Amino acid sequence: MVINENLNDLQKNIGYDFKNIDLLKLALTHSSVVHERMVNKNESNERIEFLGDAVLELISSEYLYLNYPAYPEGHMTKLRASLVCEPSLANDAKEIKLSDFINLGFGENKSGGRYRDSIVSDAFEALIGAIFLDGGFEEAKKFVLRFVLNDIEKKAIFHDSKSILQEFVQNKLKKNISYEILSESGPDHDKHFTARVLIDGQPMHEGEGKSKKAAEQEAAYKTYLDLQLK
């Protein structure tokens, strides 16, 4: 089950037209579809996601090696991990509205799987694998550079924002930091949380997300940027 079946829309979003549209369809097909229809499991995106993951790792590793010559191996590894982790890729996927095109089984779709980070990030990696097979390494590289390896500094801060803010507040401001959940709404499969940062009990910025951690992370990111500007 998909929200938008017009794959031309997705191709416009990503700036790439497939020669073999079946590769794109494969990248968008979640295993829940295969299980419901009881067909060959290779008709899901699991294998092509495996390929896309490897292509993404090579492209991101090459980019960091060439563009951050002062970074030691450990620092590059940590930065790469923050760029290609599940939440990061799921967030990148929002830019191309990938969730609208994922083909899910009825049950998975009903339970909110379309917006689950694990499913969306896997589809994103599968898409990279599909572009690689259809257009080669350079086309896959263009896609990764445009949608993954952009705004790296801000992405690195965002996905490690809680620990970065904690270190900043405790070491530089000599204050205590805590979080509070302001609201929780929605059914179990589609929760929405609002969190707020407190520094020595003083309310700071708020954040929203589909988990408590995600909401706290956004609140931490906003607070850190604000403190850096002061």
Bridge partners, 185 (sequence order): 192
Q: Which of 41, 27, 8, 9 lies closest to 140 in space, CA to CA?
A: 27
Contacts of 119 (CB under 8 A, 6+ apart): 30, 102, 104, 108, 113
Q: Phi first, then psi: what are they for 40, rounded to 5°? A: -55, 125
Do the Cβ atoms of 149 and 83 come closer than 8 Å? yes
d(Cα 43, Cα 41) in Å, to the nearest integer? 5
Establish whether 200 is a catalytic residue.
no
Establish whether 53 is a catalytic residue.
yes
Q: How many CA atoms lie within 13 A of 15 on its CB side?
A: 10
Interhelix angle 117-135/46-67, nearest 10 degrees: 80
Which of these is catalytic: 49, 53, 117, 216? 53
d(Cα 1, Cα 148) in Å, to the nearest integer? 27
Q: Which of 80, 136, 100, 113 lies closest to 189 in space, CA to CA?
A: 113
d(Cα 146, Cα 88) in Å, to the nearest integer? 14
Which of these is catalytic: 49, 122, 125, 134? 125
Residues tagged active-site: 53, 125
